[in-house]
Structure 1
Amino acid sequence: MNDNRIPGSMARAGVLLVAALLAGCGPESTSLVRGDQLWADSAYDRAIAEYRLALRETDNDERVVARLAHAYAVTGQFDQAHRYYEELLKRAPEYTDQAVYDYMLIAARSRARGDRFGMANAVDAASELRPGLPLGETSAALARYYAQTGDAERAVDFFERALAEAPADSIPALLFELGSVQESRGNCAEAIAAFNAYRTRAPRGPRADEARWHVGNCSFEVGRDALAENRHADALRAFDTVIRLGVPQNLVDQAWFERGELLLRQGRRDEALEAYYRVLERN
């Protein structure tokens, strides 16, 4: 899949934008005419200079502002493009699709060159104008960016969006990453669900053993939390999961001991003794 593709609706908006920019604002602006000629010749920096002059000649005509905003977007100058689009959309909201197209163009190019900060800024600007905008594979790239910058909440949001849009062969890796972020947030129940989903989809996957370890580790934490809240049945199920998986090995002894304690409280003396014997056998 081409990571830099723009969604079809936005691509059509881009075509309309180009058509609008070529429509002209009137013969009175010589700077505008020169700017269009320079733009056609790919002399982008000089064209931008002429468009800035044309703003004064046309008293900030919205079609000139649209030209300038688009020019900054095409040349990768997000801050300037954002500034002019914000100004433009206050007066002419019909340019919204064109702004979204340009922001996503910047995002795609930023992603291609490894500028994840630039990608995130551009997507934020586009999403502010079109909440719920389909992002394709950019969702996964943003999820990883936010996970690495410590913004776990946004990382989870984008991992969930990526899972909804990703091809089947990409889903296991996304599930593992989602589980890791959830575990880092202390959301062990959600982490277990993600890691188990990975194990179901990729039982012999490259990270299957890691996923199993994380399920065991999180199950132990879930058991401790349940024990602290006197939810003994939930605690017993969680400790049994650690025992069944056999990982993390350094927690299995404690899981057997906690199982014994819980069974003893329930009056299940023989089962409790068996659990205590297992602790002794392992040590």
Structure 2
Amino acid sequence: MRFFGKKLPVEGIIVILTVALFAGCSGGRASNEQNGDRYYRSGQYDDALAEYLMAEKTAGTSAALLRKIGKVYVMQGDFFQAKNYFDRYFSTRDSVPDEGVLLDYFQIAVERGRSGDTTTMVHALEEILAINPSFSLGAFYFVLGDYYFEQSDYHRAIAYYLRGLPLDTEQERRAGCMYNLAAGYEKLEDYFNAFLYYDQFLTLYPDRPESEQASWHRSSCSYPLALQMREEGDLEQAFYYLNLIISGGQPQHLVDDAWYLRGEILLQDNRPAEAKQAFERVLKLNRYYYKEKIAEQARKRIEEIEFSGRQSL
């Protein structure tokens, strides 16, 4: 080999070839990563992944490359592989999750949400909480709550609503959250908390379109609560719940049941005259819409009260 007309020694040739080979390898890796970056920015995630994996294969891994591969897998919805690469990324940093990855997931959640990919958005948000449970998602707690409410996973929905409610002051979101909290508790037959949130909703948002439904459901929750209070011996609280049904006249199918239970509690409280009036209301309500069983029970109670009254004379 000649260099500007001079013949190079063998040692010089070896040095030049070695430098060239090293430069070629380094350039290849940089090219793969750069191509991957370009594809990622343009939303071509399959091509980006191919370039990043080629960079990893030909020149080994770096913390930055592991993080990039993890992000691509998240965008593709492959959270198993994403977690694998992010875990490897964490291991390069003494296994301490950094804010960078959390923000990666957060950015991905926002992008996927805008594009209508709700499932990937939810997974990305939950990965943030899995990595750092104390990370605040702000209004995105409502997004998670709504998602799981629509999936009928009321336990999860409630958990996210409760985390979001103290953090957000936007009235529209708070109103929807409070109503769904009440509905979720009602679905889980936790009537006490359901009543509590329906009542708060009606107090804070009386003019909302959902207020009529909230009032109906609050009264619906009142009946099982009245039964519970009677069993626990809290008769005054039982009357309170029953009076909500009776005074509001809803739910209509429970009004006669509420009167009947009121009569039973009055008898238990040794107030037979008032109990008789309650049972008579049951009969009156069943003149047109006849519920045979409860009407017969009410009639029997009236006869027992009248008989007991004659006996005491």
TM (normalized to structure 1)?
0.80
Q: How does 1:199-218 map to 2 (within 5 A)?
A: 199-218=202-221
- State yes or no: 1:31 paired with 2:34: no
The structural deviation recorded for 1:230 is 4.6
- Aligned with 2:142 (options 140, 143, 156): 140
**Counterpart position of 1:152:** 154
Q: How does 1:146-185 map to 2 (within 5 A)?
A: 146-166=148-168, 167-185=170-188
Distance (whole Å) between structure 2 residues aligned to residue 261 and residue 57 of structure 1: 83
Q: How does 1:175-254 map to 2 (within 5 A)?
A: 175-254=178-257
**Counterpart position of 2:273:** 270
Q: How does 1:43-122 map to 2 (within 5 A)?
A: 45-73=46-74, 75-79=75-79, 80-92=81-93, 93-94=95-96, 96-122=98-124
Q: Does the 8 A contact of 1:29 with 1:57 survive in 2?
A: no
- Please list every run of 5 or more consecutive structure 1 residues that lacks an aligned counterpart in the other structure: 1-25
Q: Does the 8 A contact of 1:35 with 1:48 survive in 2?
A: no
Distance (whole Å) between structure 1 residues aligned to residue 97 and residue 205 of structure 2: 45
Aligned residue-pair number: 257
The structural deviation recorded for 1:34 is 0.3
Q: Deviations over 1:75-132 (max 9, x none)?
A: 5454343331122113323553121111112222222233322122111111111113
Q: Does the 8 A contact of 2:148 with 2:156 survive in 1?
A: yes
Structure 2 letter corresponding to 1:86: D
Q: Does the 8 A contact of 1:191 with 1:218 survive in 2?
A: yes
Distance 1:40 1:151, change over 3 A: closer
Q: Deviations over 1:52-96 (max 9, x none)?
A: 2332344333233233334545x5454343331122113323553
CA RMSD in angstroms comes to 2.4
Distance (whole Å) between structure 2 residues aligned to residue 152 and residue 117 of structure 1: 17
TM (normalized to structure 2)?
0.73
Distance (whole Å) between structure 2 residues aligned to residue 146 and residue 182 of structure 1: 13
Distance (whole Å) between structure 2 residues aligned to residue 276 and residue 171 of structure 1: 42
Partner secondary structure for residue 186 of structure 1 = coil
Structure 2 letter corresponding to 1:109: E
Percent identity of equivalent pairs: 26
Q: Does the 8 A contact of 1:216 with 1:242 survive in 2?
A: yes
Partner secondary structure for residue 98 of structure 2 = helix
- Please list every run of 5 or more consecutive structure 2 residues that lacks an aligned counterpart in the other structure: 1-21, 287-313
The structural deviation recorded for 1:37 is 3.3
Distance (whole Å) between structure 2 residues aligned to residue 140 and residue 117 of structure 1: 15
**Counterpart position of 1:125:** 127
Distance (whole Å) between structure 2 residues aligned to residue 187 and residue 109 of structure 1: 36
Larger Rg: 2
Which structure has more relative contact order (CA 8 Å, sep 6+)? It is: 1
Q: Does the 8 A contact of 2:106 with 2:125 survive in 1?
A: yes
Q: Does the 8 A contact of 2:33 with 2:55 survive in 1?
A: no
Distance (whole Å) between structure 1 residues aligned to residue 282 and residue 57 of structure 2: 83
Distance 1:128 1:257, change over 3 A: same
Structure 2 letter corresponding to 1:29: S
Q: Deviations over 1:16-47 (max 9, x none)?
A: xxxxxxxxxx9763333103432564475555
